[in-house]
Structure 1
Amino acid sequence: MTVKLDFEECLKDSPRFRADIEEVEGDVNELETRLDKLVKQCNTMLEAGKVFCQNSKNFVAGLKELGHHYSSDATMGCLDKFSKKLLFILEAQGEAIDTIQKNVKMKLQSFVKEDVRRFKEVRKEFERCSEALDTALNKNAQVPRGKQHEVEEASNALLNARKASRSGALDYVLEINVIESKKKTEVLNAVLSLMDTQAQFFQQGHQSLKELESYRKNLSDEQTQLVLNAAREKRDMEQRHAAIKKKDMSYDDSIMDYCADAATGIVMEGYLYKRASNAFKTWSRRWFSIQKNQLVYQKKFKEQPTVVVEDLRLCTVKTCVDQERRFCFEVVSPSKTCLLQADSERQQQGWITAVQSSIASAFQERREDTLSPRERLSSVSAGSGVGQEQEGSSCQALEEVQAIPGNNHCCDCGEPGPDWASINLGITLCITCSGIHRSLGVHFSKVRSLTLDSWEPELIRLMCELGNSAINRIYEARIDEITIKKPHPSSPRQDKESWIRSKYVEKKFIQKLPETGRVTPLRRSSARRNRSTVQERAGPRPTLKPKPNRATLPRLSGISPSDLKNNTASYKDCEDEEEDLSGLHPGALLYRSAALQHFPVMADALAHGADVNWVNVAEDSSTPLIQAATANSLAACEFLLQNGASVNQADSNGKGPLHHATILGHTGLVCLFLKRGADYNAKDKSSKDPISIAVESANADIVTLLRIAKMNKEMREMDGAFGQSGDETCLDIFRDFSQMASNNPEKLKRRSTDIKIL
């Protein structure tokens, strides 16, 4: 006997199970109708048979009397013999009618009246328990978080309803399997009884029944084996049913199993409440599943699933604690946000983990389905010039960034050949760790692909100034003192996620600042102030080598301030400027290191909580970004901007970073600040904006950039909602200036004496 429904499936109460029982119920109803009709037809046949036998006997009696009439005729003597044979056949037919009535009609009638009726009673009890469970679930979901007595009452009601529902479901599944088995045996038994009776009845006269003899025998043997098997399986099902019924069915969670390699492609499924996006914000309970890198839901099994998230790689998931309803979480994608509610905290965490694991799996599948980074970069694109330019920037980014010592392995797990990066941290990552970094939020880590995204020159230079080794010396400074083990490439995703959150969010492994690190910064020496306003860098630093360490803190490298002062052979020009930075608080440390263009110290200051927009009131309320702009460091400015520096924060003279870059003639920085949204109309205390300053200093390139930015904004305002025609040309010009500022800065030193304001 084949088991129609599984007991574990009924505990899930899934749409699939509902569809199966609907199919069984429809089949049983149809079977009941057909059996009722068959029993009526059998009764009509039996009544007709009795009438036929009686009429036949009358006919035989008349034939016998006719035979007596021809008693003197030996030829007609056959009538008497034939009448005796016919009478014998009619007697056998009467017995056959009685047997059919006993073995066919009564058994089929009993199956319909007893077994089918019992099936319907169990079904009614199952439906009643299911309705009670739905009512309890709705009440439990609607209980406000703050009303504890209502929560307990609803939880107890749900506990009892779930226990009764699952008990009723198990009984119903057992009855379904029993009736599925019995409907075969009962019908087969009735048919075989009818065939035996008919075979005996027509044994002497019907060759057709003799031809069915072997078939009848085989069928009889099969029916006997089915009866034996059905009895054995029924016994096993009853034992299993009793064993499962002894288990605790009062637990508050559905059966939840996350299986990434499920044969059906469904890695997770279960019921969740979904809040509608309409004005009423109604909640509906739907069957959700994760399949084919998508999150979908449906109400009925045969309905077309509704897609919530088209591509899991484009979404993130997080708990939602500001809702009055409990166990809520959000699935956020670029196009919409879906608010969901689980039945318990365990289910909530299970779904969040499942979505996060599916996001990681989706990225992993994408990586395996595509070519390796080197193969992608070595292929020549046949597309447009922009595509070739982006491919070239990706190739340059991958080669230069991975050439930095330590960058050829993932910063967090050590997987070789990482092709993802965090641009605000300056590290390289594998695909798994990059997905975890992305889930932290852009205020912690901004993830970009080294092979799929385009890279601006200043970003490449920024990545080359830091690197995995420098960042790990900061964020893993106390790793030897901590018992937590660093994950390796084959570690589970959960271990990697726990490590990354501890490292970058909780910052458990950074060196603690000394208590003395709270003093206010001193003013710069006059020599430094003078040089910072008149000097320009002669050319770009090599991008593949880390910058020499001019102000390394003791907690980073173990070099003391006295060692720095004694190291005058390499830095004779800074003899009068050396200062001990170890006593500065993080904001002042960021400020000083931005002026020195020392990226590891800047990163260390940010790791210790430095305000990226910290103001030095002792130096005209200058900010770290203004210091980096004064030093004409594209990479330092980019680093600060990527970490949240305000491009429009001005000093006490009303001069922002764009003003300072314009005054000093730093064309590359002007281009960078304009790309990052700097206000070219902002006026300082002398009522001068950057354009008037550039005109006065006769810097043709900066005037060009500022005027192009202004014209681009005006064109966008004129186009309004119909387009942004000026953007593409403006971005192309800015891109060219960025390339020139990074690779050929000497070309940006042009001056013009005949510039006129438009």
Structure 2
Amino acid sequence: MKVTVDFEECLKDSPRFRAALEEVEGDVTELELKLDKLVKLCIAMIDTGKAFCTANKQFMNGIRDLAQYSCKDPLVETNLMKFSDTLQEMINYHNILFDQIQRSIKTQLQTFVKEDIRKFKDAKKQFEKVSEEKENALVKNAQVQRNKQHEVEEATNILTATRKCFRHIALDYVLQINVLQSKRRAEILKSMLSFMYAHLAFFHQGYDLFSELEPYMKELGAQLDQLAVDAAKEKRDMEQKHSTIQQKDYSSDDAKLEYNVDAANGIVMEGYLFKRASNAFKTWNSCMLQADSEKLRQAWIKAVQTSIATAYREKGDESEKQEKKSSPSTGSLESGSETKEKLLKGESALQRVQCIAGNAACCDCGLADPRWASINLGITLCIECSGIHRSLGVHFSKVRSLTLDSWEPELLKLMCELGNDVINRIYEAKLEKVGVKKPQSGSQRQEKEAYIRAKYVERKFVEKQAASVPLPEPGTKVLPPSEEEKRHSGPEKSLLAREQGAASQKVRSSDSGIQPSTDDSREHLASTISANSLYEPEGDKQESPVFCDYKQPSPGLQLYQAAFEKNLPHMAEALAHGAEVNWVNMEENKATPLIQAVRGGSLVTCEFLLQNGANVNIRDMKGRGPLHHATVLGHTGQVCLFLKRGANQHATDEDGKDPLSIAVEAANADIVTLLRLARMNEEMRESEGLYGQPGDEIYQDIFRDFSQMASNNPEKLNRFQQSDSQKS
């Protein structure tokens, strides 16, 4: 309803004007009530909608949890994740709709009520006040005695001034009334139009989203039809098998024996025995197993003997393979039933790893909040990409859960040293050059699998090795170049320039028919540390020269140098370029990158090499392996790590010394304790026939404490080095 007031009637202050004012004021009061009610209903609608979105999001998370639980069934996992992603998009559209509703209805109408109607009320108050003053002036003028000329003139002047002020205020009031009446239509319709456009956009977005999903749903429907047919067939087969088995007679012992044999699955015998327990020796819990008959007893005895013989044969074959091939254990000492959970586990490991640059999204598809990791690559993965990584084999990627698995401290620190950004700069360096598009979280599994295999197995996107070598460390001698090199490089060129020139000269020579050398042992830079100098007294060490042949170092030598420098990104890059993790430096007593990592003093560097297949028992020319070197240098944390990874502490060097004798001579109590404890545990397991078992809880607890200390409080393990320096 639109009611306007005439300006002419306002000046006359006629009864018609007063009636129009009364009608307008009543209309504005009712309008204010209606708008307030509409705003409150809008607020309630928005709150209810947000509650719906919250419940919908919880339901969507439940679908994702079910998808992760069904990770072994690709059909269920893929479809559930697809549907949950669609629901997440709809939740986002709902939130956008509620924001637009709040702006169009709540905010806009509240502004109209608080500003425009408030101005009307303020003008009304002023009008009523001046109207009352006018009435008082009229009464006073009417009651003044006419014989008192002075009072008559005063009353007349007051009445004239009051009328003039009344007309001015009345005109302003009428103007405010007419403006409000004109504006309210535009404000109401504008807000409602915006409200309707918000719904139009919401439903268009939903329609487009489900239009894209419709072919996928139809395809799934066809698959479900086929699944129903297959299920019916399986049901008939199982009913037939059930009927066939039900007709057999299992009353005799011979029938039971036939039923218990399952050679196809490697089971010789299975069933139930009656357990009679006793504790006659007060220390060991003994028990006696009782069969139902003599024939079953003999069958069980034969099955156990056969299994023991098979285990011995497999153990012997495994030992032979271990001698031929280096394969350090990646498992920890903890058993599945450990009672003291001191390792980082669950959300704490997840939070620490995900805060590394790039780790908040899957390394290969970009899906947010990844819950899996490749421990040898140092990256985080979503559940689908982690399944693809498992199919590559552990020699390419070792997958572990960030929430379900226990994490050793050195392994957690390894994950924090690398990260998705670092690894992708290596393995995706040529991605744009080759024109390959990286898959997204919604891409098909086949597309992701092809990309991951090309990235990590074929290494198609790794940049070729740069034709330069790093400068030698400060404090080392660099022999001058030969006369031939001087002719190719002027005096103004730096060492790095001469190295790059030599590398390019090598390529030109190859082009002219001269084949370049492919021997890794000849393409190297001598290390800045001599292998013999590690065990000399500090005052007797001689400055070792570095012979630079200005050639491109091999990936193996790059890995060797980076291991000493504690540079994990450079080590990962060397492995991506094809470096052999057990590469041997023939110029430095046949030392390996793992031995160099020991010399560098980094526990995380050693763990990285072990996780990537480094052999913990390869020894140098002097017969010293990584455990020997760690013992000589007093690196307690590394000694603990190598013992956990299967290092042979009985091996002796060229002087006939094993790690224990070296530790005893050095009076390093911590390392002596670890070596003796490990040797005692090994002897106990051999005497009890517990092959492959980690040992008792005390042994596990001590090694776990040393691991925690070496990773989180390494200064506590520096007692030997500190006391040694004080003596000197």
In the superposition, the TM-score normalised over structure 2's length comes to 0.45
Higher relative contact order (CA 8 A, sep 6+): 2
In the superposition, the TM-score normalised over structure 1's length comes to 0.44
Q: Which has the higher helix share?
A: 2
